[in-house]
Amino acid sequence: MAINWTEAQIEEVVASVIRSLKPERAESCDSWSAESYGGRRLIGVFADMNEAIEAASRGYKAVRAMTLEEREKVIANIRTLCREEAPKMAALGVAETKMGRVDHKTAKHILVADKTPGTADIRSEAKTGDFGLTLTEMAPFGVVGSITPSTNPSETVICNSIGMIAAGNGVVFNPHPNAIATSNYAVDLVNRASAMAGGPEVLVASVVKPTLETADVMYKHPNIRLLVCTGGPGVVKSVLSSGKKAIGAGAGNPPVIVDDTADVKKAGKDIIDGCSFDNNLPCIAEKEVFAFDSIADELIGAMEENGAYRISRALADKLAEIVLVDKKNPKTGVTSKIVNRDCVGRDARVILEKVGIHVGDNVRCIICETDFEHPFVQHELMMPILPIVRVKNIDEAIELAVKAEHGCRHTAHMHSKNIDNLTRFARAVETTIFVKNAPSYAGIGFGGEGHTTFTIAGPTGEGLTSAKSFTRQRRCVMSESFRII
Ligand code: NAD
């Protein structure tokens, strides 16, 4: 499970990505759809959600019949295929969604392969005393219905599959419609891994055309015992209103504070590394910075040295009119700003072209100084644009950063060597993830300790989900026996 992101490995990943982009791969990448890849039908993908649930139910029965060793064999094969096919899935994800970066998506898949916990995550508990032995075991729910996002599509399908199968569940997916080919490719990969280990041909299932209606079938089907939703506020709310046990992994708007004790040069580099990772698609990525006035100029300089392109306030206002658009709520008639899907996850270079600025691929991120009320601070943009707000002191920094997080309690970051300041912000912001003095991705195990996940369940409290999050407790009591001391 250990992962060492040495330079040699990173070079190998980059080399494999370049190999994956050779013309023959690009051609086969052309022939993808929600149900086939390169002319081969994807396994486990059904026209109808009810059929998919029936198939996942058979998959669940097969998992129940497996020994732990057999489950681990399936998971080991998923890890191997995920590592081998990471560049292919990364290229497909970018081609289909037009979002993100192939090299970073490749790294995300390798992270999932290496650091998603398997069956070892499931631990039983024994309590002994005068009355004998009580055993608590972590049992599967049954068939899990999983709703997955467009931002980390195949990563989430594979990460969820490893954890849910390790816990002994079956899984049916309702993937994001904009990433259906990529998500279903990952469903097929899990099923190929199962067959390689002697498991069922269809272990996990999905549909050709996921919609809100197919999600509703999932919510209501008696075989679905647990719903897991990774996505924005709308879909998380709908899952939590389903009347079923649900795990909700929702939106965030992670603030970063940089105080006057920070290693400012390192902070500038770390923030740009984190903010520009996969073009800011990860929900944990830095979204707005609150910098002490005394170090703000040095911080901005360090960011510029590390691939940030600074724009003026006037240009930031012009860009805000492009990357955010008006949407009228048909029920209430109220118009509000939402992100322009044509800009989400795009390269900084492409976004700058929209305001007539032409730069090279060395520009990883757009930065600008704004005030707190600016839409770049208030909205979860999911694109490489980073507003910087100057603050006088730690009181103002914490007050504004907590407000900008909007109570999502998702993720926050801080660069400081003052343990009192660090502790105060961590206590005030109450986020599931709090990263100190590192890029945001350290919070999901990439250059930081701990397991990885792409389903971070703040609203329902499971935190960084893993196999044990997808289990239910069962107790077995042996009265007046089996205490051997
Ligand atoms: P999204 O909210 O647009 O869609 C997520 C999924 O929900 C898709 O399958 C979509 O078809 C479906 N969906 C949308 N509305 C629905 C409804 N009312 N009923 C049923 N299904 C519905 O998500 P996205 O744009 O792909 O992802 C971005 C959002 O997800 C961001 O807000 C991001 O922060 C969040 N996210 C959170 C995590 C986490 O772990 N907490 C991880 C990834 C993404």
Taking 80 as the threshold, does the pLDDT of residue 12 lie above it?
Answer: no
- Ligand 1 neighbourhood includes 231 CB (under 6 angstroms): yes
Q: Reduce the DSSP state of residue 76 to 3 states and report it.
A: helix
Number of H helices and number of E strands within the chain?
A: 17, 22
Predicted model pTM: 0.93
**Distance from the CA of 314 to the center of ligand 1, in angstroms?**
32
38: which 2 tokens?
């390169």
Residue 22 has what pLDDT? 41
Q: What is the mean pLDDT of residues 138-148?
A: 98
Amino acid letter, 400: L
- What would the pLDDT profile of 336-379 be if each residue is shown by its tens digit? 999 999 999 999 999 999 999 999 999 999 999 999 999 999 99
- Which atom in ligand 1 lies closest to the alpha carbon of residue 210? 11
Residue 5 has what pLDDT? 56
Q: In the block, which residue shows the tokens 């994001």?
A: 176
Taking 50 as the threshold, does the pLDDT of residue 144 lie above it?
Answer: yes
Integer Cα distance of 94 and 80 in angstroms: 22
Q: Whose CA is nearest to atom 11 of ligand 1?
A: 176
- What would the pLDDT profile of 289-337 be if each residue is shown by its tens digit? 999 999 999 999 999 999 999 999 999 999 999 999 999 998 899 999 9
12: which 2 tokens?
């190998």
- Ligand 1 neighbourhood includes 218 CB (under 6 angstroms): no
Integer Cα distance of 115 and 108 in angstroms: 10
Integer Cα distance of 173 and 427 in angstroms: 36
Integer Cα distance of 399 and 140 in angstroms: 42
Q: Reduce the DSSP state of residue 209 to 3 states and report it.
A: coil
DSSP 372-438: TTSHHHHS---SSEEEEEEESSHHHHHHHHHHHTTT---EEEEE-S-HHHHHHHHHHH--SEEEESS
Residue 331 has what pLDDT? 86
Q: CB within 8 A of 120, min separation 6: which ones?
A: none
Integer Cα distance of 142 and 57 in angstroms: 8
**Distance from the CA of 230 to the center of ligand 1, in angstroms?**
6
Q: Are 198 and 70 in contact (CB under 8 A)?
A: yes
Q: Reduce the DSSP state of residue 482 to 3 states and report it.
A: coil
**Distance from the CA of 39 to the center of ligand 1, in angstroms?**
29
Q: What is the mean pLDDT of residues 237-264?
A: 97
- Ligand 1 neighbourhood includes 212 CB (under 6 angstroms): yes
- Which atom in ligand 1 lies closest to the alpha carbon of residue 152? 43
Phi, psi values for residue 189, rounded to 5°: -60, -45
Burial group, residue 392, by CB count within 10 angstroms (0-12, 13-18, 19+): exposed
Integer Cα distance of 247 and 239 in angstroms: 8
Q: What is the mean pLDDT of residues 449-461?
A: 97
Name the residue of 183, 228, 235 to mutate for ligand 1: max ligand atoms within 8 A of Cβ: 235
Taking 90 as the threshold, does the pLDDT of residue 19 lie above it?
Answer: no
Residue 6 has what pLDDT? 56
Integer Cα distance of 199 and 361 in angstroms: 45
Q: Whose CA is nearest to atom 15 of ligand 1?
A: 235
Integer Cα distance of 190 and 74 in angstroms: 8
**Distance from the CA of 28 to the center of ligand 1, in angstroms?**
29
Name the fold adopted by 255-450.
Aldehyde Dehydrogenase; Chain A, domain 2 (3.40.309)
Q: What is the mean pLDDT of residues 154-168?
A: 98
Integer Cα distance of 59 and 170 in angstroms: 6
- Ligand 1 neighbourhood includes 439 CB (under 6 angstroms): no
CATH 3.40.605.10 fits 7-250+464-472, yes or no: yes
- What would the pLDDT profile of 28-56 be if each residue is shown by its tens digit? 455 999 999 999 999 999 999 999 999 99
Q: CB within 8 A of 332, min separation 6: which ones?
A: none
In the beta sheet, which residues pair with residue 226?
A: 144
Taking 90 as the threshold, does the pLDDT of residue 439 lie above it?
Answer: yes
- Ligand 1 neighbourhood includes 149 CB (under 6 angstroms): yes
Residue 271 has what pLDDT? 98
DSSP 216-270: HHHHH-TTEEEEEEES-HHHHHHHHTSSS-EEEE-----EEEE-TTS-HHHHHHH
Name the residue of 97, 116, 151, 466 to mutate for ligand 1: max ligand atoms within 8 A of Cβ: 151
pLDDT > 70 fraction of the chain, expressed in percent and rounded: 94
Phi, psi values for residue 262, rounded to 5°: -70, 155
pLDDT > 90 fraction of the chain, expressed in percent and rounded: 92
Phi, psi values for residue 457, rounded to 5°: -95, 90
Name the residue of 217, 283, 453 to mutate for ligand 1: max ligand atoms within 8 A of Cβ: 283
Same fold, 7-250+464-472 and 255-450: no
Q: What is the mean pLDDT of residues 248-271?
A: 98
pLDDT-based confidence at 20, cuts 50/70/90?
very low
Amino acid letter, 190: V
- Which atom in ligand 1 lies closest to the alpha carbon of residue 455? 40
Residue 85 has what pLDDT? 98
Q: Are 303 and 276 in contact (CB under 8 A)?
A: no
Integer Cα distance of 25 and 20 in angstroms: 6
DSSP 147-186: E--SSSHHHHHHHHHHHHHHTT-EEEEE--GGGHHHHHHH
Residue 16 has what pLDDT? 52
Q: CB within 8 A of 306, min separation 6: which ones?
A: 268, 269, 272, 273, 364
**Distance from the CA of 57 to the center of ligand 1, in angstroms?**
25
Residue 257 has what pLDDT? 99
- Ligand 1 neighbourhood includes 169 CB (under 6 angstroms): no
Nearest to 257 by CA among 376, 384, 406, 411: 411
Q: Which one has a higher pLDDT value, 52 or 483?
A: 52
φ/ψ bin of 308: left (φ > 0), alpha (ψ from -120 to 50), beta (otherwise): beta
Integer Cα distance of 299 and 270 in angstroms: 11
The domain locations on the chain are 7-250+464-472, 255-450
Query: Nearest 5°: CA angle at 85, between 464 and 29?
Result: 115
Residue 8 has what pLDDT? 54
